[in-house]
Amino acid sequence: MALDLIIRNARLSSAGPDNPAVDIGVRGGTIVAVEPNLAGDGPEHDARGKLVSPGLIESHFHLDKAMIIDRVPMQPDRMVRDHMKRTASIKHTFTAEDIYARAEATIEQCVLHGVTHMRTQVEVDPNVGLLGFEVIEQLRKDYAWAIDIQPCVFLQEGWTDVPGADENLVHCLNRGAPVVGGGIRYDKDGPGQIRRVFELAQHYDIDVDFHLDGGHDVKNPDYPQVCEITDRIRWQGRVAFGHGSRFSCMPVKEQAAVGKRLGESGVSLAVLPATDLFNGGRHMEHSVMRGVTDANTLIEHGANCTISTNNVLNPFTPYGDCSLTRIANLYANVVQRYGPKDLGVCFEMITDRAAKVMRLGDYGIEVGKAADLVVWNEELPSDVIAKCALPLAGFKRGRRIFLRELPTLQRPR
Ligand SMILES: [Zn+2]
């Protein structure tokens, strides 16, 4: 059998520690065989018995405002929560070339860390208009060889009371944006925004991805309204939201109820540990709360959850190397989860569980699925999270898109 690629000696993420390594055969960008000692001819990549997983997925990202931290005024005081305002203050300086260059550099770093799919939030507030949307559309085409980018258009700085905001968003949906988002923290009428998002989702038959239930106030959470509308219009499996940091301030019994409710409605949560750790607890001078929800608990009670980077080098998160395994490790460390089982779930949250949110039908290591693959220097998915592992090689539809050499120690002779 003539093949375009054979990955030899691959340990699959679904396999237990004693399962034998397999070979993965690829033709025309698709996996056509997964079996030991595959008989076939073609270019080979030896995984040396180490883990091969599907590509990583950033389920909640902001490409358009990445890498701006050097242009934004410094925060005057740790206890001031002004990251949105400081970001907004420089948005008038954004140009198409500028957004393209920053987002391109960010995408390349994500790809080098094993990411083959991304849902990126795209702001279309009147102060940037359609600039970000058009640039992301261009990048989506230019980087299709390495990554599938799914834009989610939304209004960061308010919607229901902002002249021109709704028109911008509708314009993007008319041009084919596949997901509509929401950011209700800065809207005068949060529930009104939620209703409008679902109205558009139904009209355009598209998926929904909000920013909800951030902060630490556990009174009047946003998710019940979202679940109620999701159930009513039968949008189960098509609705996600990011943050949910409030849930970390609830007793575990109440967190379990949240997990159960989200699971029943098919509403997913993306936990964003870097951003929530950086911004949470600013009202506390000492013994600062963490504000990162234990997604493992919500999953145990029926919800689907993911872990994602969200922001890179901007006032929302002034750090970032675009390593999703580092973010998952940060999450596990903060919520005090470890070991093969719990860290295995963390790995699912940056692979299979995120694929469910993006409704990727051709994702996974199975015959007939897209050959979007990552080779690790580890044996188990939990090791990847525990060690913030860096991938050794990545493949997009069977074509190798990066290689990483292991460092070697230079011992004295
Ligand atoms: Zn976000």
Question: What is the average pLDDT across 37-61?
Answer: 96
- Cβ burial of 74 (10 Å; 0-12, 13-18, 19+) is exposed
> Ligand 1 centre from 12 Cα, in Å?
31
pLDDT of 80 reads 82
> Ligand 1 centre from 394 Cα, in Å?
26
331 & 342 share domain: yes
> Ligand 1 centre from 6 Cα, in Å?
38
Q: How far is CA 196 from CA 104, 203, 302, in A?
A: 32, 11, 27
Of how many residues is the chain composed?
Answer: 413
Per-residue pLDDT tens for 107-161?
999 999 999 999 999 999 999 999 999 999 999 999 999 999 999 999 999 999 9
Residue linked to tokens 């907004």: 88
CA distance 133 to 124: 7
pLDDT of 16 reads 64
> Ligand 1 centre from 365 Cα, in Å?
29
Per-residue pLDDT tens for 198-212?
999 999 999 999 999
> Ligand 1 centre from 156 Cα, in Å?
9
Judged against a pLDDT cut of 90, whether residue 15 lies above it is answered with no
Judged against a pLDDT cut of 80, whether residue 297 lies above it is answered with yes
> Ligand 1 centre from 239 Cα, in Å?
15
Question: Residue 409 domain-assigned?
Answer: no
Give me the domain span that covers residue 63.
Answer: 56-357
Per-residue pLDDT tens for 74-107?
888 888 888 888 888 888 899 999 999 999 999 9
Burial annotation 43-54 (CB, 10 A radius, 16+ → b, else e): eebebeebbbbb
Question: Residue 413 domain-assigned?
Answer: no
> Ligand 1 centre from 124 Cα, in Å?
14
> Ligand 1 centre from 63 Cα, in Å?
10
> Ligand 1 centre from 310 Cα, in Å?
5
166 & 44 share domain: no
**How many domains, in total, are found in the chain?**
2
195 & 340 share domain: yes
30 & 89 share domain: no
Per-residue pLDDT tens for 185-238?
889 999 999 999 999 999 999 999 999 999 999 999 999 999 999 999 999 999
272 & 184 share domain: yes
30 & 157 share domain: no
341 & 368 share domain: no
Q: Distance of alpha carbon 216 from its chain centroid, rounded? A: 22
Question: Residue 412 domain-assigned?
Answer: no
Lookup: tokens for 28: 């025309």
Per-residue pLDDT tens for 65-74?
999 999 998 8
> Ligand 1 centre from 28 Cα, in Å?
35
Question: Residue 388 domain-assigned?
Answer: yes
Judged against a pLDDT cut of 80, whether residue 19 lies above it is answered with no
27 & 124 share domain: no
- DSSP letters for 129-177: TTHHHHHHHHHHHHTTTT-EEEEEEE-TT-STTSTTHHHHHHHHHHTT-
Question: Residue 411 domain-assigned?
Answer: no
Amino acid at 109: Q
Q: Give me the CATH number covering residue 333.
A: 3.20.20.140
> Ligand 1 centre from 51 Cα, in Å?
30
Q: Give me the CATH number covering residue 376.
A: 2.30.40.10
323 & 394 share domain: no
Q: Are 369 and 31 in contact (CB under 8 A)?
A: yes
pLDDT of 76 reads 83
The residue ranking higher by pLDDT, 325 or 19, is: 325
pLDDT of 230 reads 98
> Ligand 1 centre from 79 Cα, in Å?
21
CA distance 8 to 401: 17
Q: Using a cut of 0.95, tell me whether the model's pTM lies above it.
A: yes
Per-residue pLDDT tens for 242-293?
999 999 999 999 999 999 999 999 999 999 999 999 999 999 999 999 999 9
Percent of the chain with pLDDT over 70: 99
106 & 254 share domain: yes
